[in-house]
Amino acid sequence: MSTGEDVGSERGHMPPESMAEEQAALRRVATLVARGAPPTDLFAAVAAEVGRVLPVVDVAYVGRYDTDRTVEFVGAWGRESSPGLLGERVAIGGENAATLVFASKAPARVDRLTDAAAATKLARSVGSRSSAGAPINVAGRLWGVITVSSSREGGLPVGLEARLAGFTELVATAIANAQAREELRTMANEQAALRRVATLVARAAPPEQVFTAVIAEVGRLFSADVAFMCRYEPDGGPAVRVLGSWTSTGTAPTVAVGERVEFEGENVTSKVFHTRRPVRIEGWGDDAGAALLRARAAGMRSGVGVPVSVQSRLWGVIIVGSGREDPLPPATEARLAGFTELVASAIANAEAREELRTMAEEQAALRRVATLVAGGARPGRGLRRRH
C-alpha cells in the first residue's frame, strides 16, 4: 500500500511507444472535453483510454464521491468484458484505492486486496487483486477518483498511479466546464422566470394570479416536487392559510389552496415564523406537526422555506419540497429571495391600491356631504338621502 510517496519515476523509464500511446489517448480525451461531450460519454471514454494504455490493467473506473461517504462508479471499462459495477454505489472503507484516495486526497495503491470492507469486496468481486487510484479535484475540492485494478498475480507496476494524473486533470476540466454551462443555463432560466413574474406585478395583476405564477415558476426552476405559498394568519394564531400550490406531477397537493394549517412542531413553516429567516429541514421528524407529517406520508424528504416580508413585517412564506434522496441545492434559499421580493411588491401594490380606493371613496362621500351642507339641506334629509 502507498499514498503518494511511491508515485515516482516510472514515466521517465517508459518506452517511447508507450509514451506515444498515452499522449494519443490524452489527445482523444482532450478532444472530447473541447467539444463539450456529455459527462457520461467522457467518463466512459476516460475509463476505456486508461485501461487500454496502461499495462496489465484489467478494469478501470471513474468514481464520484458523495457527501454520505460513498463512491459511485460513473464510468467503467473491462479488458475482457463489461466489468460491471457501473452505477453501483458503495460505502468508503477498508484498504482499497478509492478509500485511500478519499482519505489522503493523493494518489494511492494497494498491492493486495484482502480486507472485508464493502468497497474491497466489491473490487474483488470483479476479479481484482491489486488497485491504484488518483484523485479528481474540481475547483480545489475532491470530486472523485480514477481507479485501475489488475487480476494478475504480479499486480500493478510501481508508480502506475502517477500516470493517471493527466487523465484526472482532463476529467476535472470537463466537469468544471459542464458545471459552468449548467450555472449559466440555470441563471438564464431564473432570470426569465423572474421577468415573467415581474411583468405580472408591473401590470398590477391580482395577487392571487401572482401567487399562482410564482409557485409554478419556483417549482419548475428548483426541480421541486411540491411548492406552496402561505400567508400567516393575521389573528396571531400558529397557523397559515395556503394561497397557492404546485406539484411536479400535476396531481392535487396534500394541502389544498384555501386550507388553514396549524404549524405546531418542528417544521419549515414554524421555523420561518419564529426566526424570520430562511430555513432548511432535511427529513421530517416525529415532531414535524400535522401538515408536515402529511408531506412525509406523501414521500417528501426535505424542504426549504423563505419568508415573505411586506413593509418590514412578516406576511407569509414560500416553501419548496423534495422527495428525492439528494437535498435541494445549497443556494435554494438565496435564489428564492428574488421571488419573495416580487411577491412582497405585488402585495404592497395591492394594499396601496386598496388604500387609494378606500381614500377615494371617503373623499367622494365627504364631497357629497359638503355639497348637501352647502345647499342648506337639513341633517335628516341628507342622512336619508345617503341611506
Residue range 246-296, pLDDT digits in tens: 888 888 777 788 888 887 777 888 889 999 999 998 765 555 555 555 666
Question: What Å distances lie between residue 9 and 111, 159, 231, CA to CA?
Answer: 18, 7, 67
Using CA atoms, how far apart are residues 382 and 194, in angstroms rounded to an integer? 52
* Average pLDDT value for residue range 317-330: 84
Q: Record the cell numbers describing residue 246, joined without a space.
A: 404546485
The total number of residues shown for the chain amounts to 387
pLDDT in the model for residue 378 = 62
The identity of residue 273, as a single letter, is: F
The DSSP 8-state label assigned to residue 157 in this structure reads P
User: What stretch(es) of the chain map to CATH 3.30.450.40?
Assistant: 10-179, 204-354
pLDDT in the model for residue 102 = 95
pLDDT tier at 7 (50, 70, 90 boundaries)?
A: very low
Using CA atoms, how far apart are residues 205 and 212, in angstroms rounded to an integer? 11
Using CA atoms, how far apart are residues 80 and 103, in angstroms rounded to an integer? 31
The total of other beta-carbon atoms located within 10 Å of residue 10's CB is 17
pLDDT tier at 351 (50, 70, 90 boundaries)?
A: low
| 21-66 confidence digits (pLDDT tens) | 778 888 888 888 888 888 888 888 888 888 888 878 888 999 999 8
CA 41 to chain CA centroid, Å, is 22
pLDDT tier at 134 (50, 70, 90 boundaries)?
A: very high
Using CA atoms, how far apart are residues 211 and 218, in angstroms rounded to an integer? 11
pLDDT in the model for residue 136 = 92
Fold of 10-179: Beta-Lactamase (3.30.450)
Superfamily for the 204-354 domain: GAF domain (3.30.450.40)
Using CA atoms, how far apart are residues 339 and 190, in angstroms rounded to an integer? 10
Query: Are the C-beta atoms of 194 and 339 separated by less than 8 Å?
Result: yes
Using CA atoms, how far apart are residues 307 and 322, in angstroms rounded to an integer? 18
HSE-CB at 91 with a 13 A cutoff on CA atoms is 5
Using CA atoms, how far apart are residues 91 and 376, in angstroms rounded to an integer? 93
Model confidence pTM above 0.85: no
pLDDT in the model for residue 11 = 44
Four-residue CA torsion sign, 27, 29, 33, 34:
positive
HSE-CB at 274 with a 13 A cutoff on CA atoms is 11
pLDDT tier at 363 (50, 70, 90 boundaries)?
A: low
Maximum Cα interatomic distance, the chain, rounded to a whole number of Å: 117
pLDDT in the model for residue 64 = 92
| Bridge partners of residue 319, in order along the sequence | 228, 305
Give the chain's count of helices (H) and strands (E).
10, 12
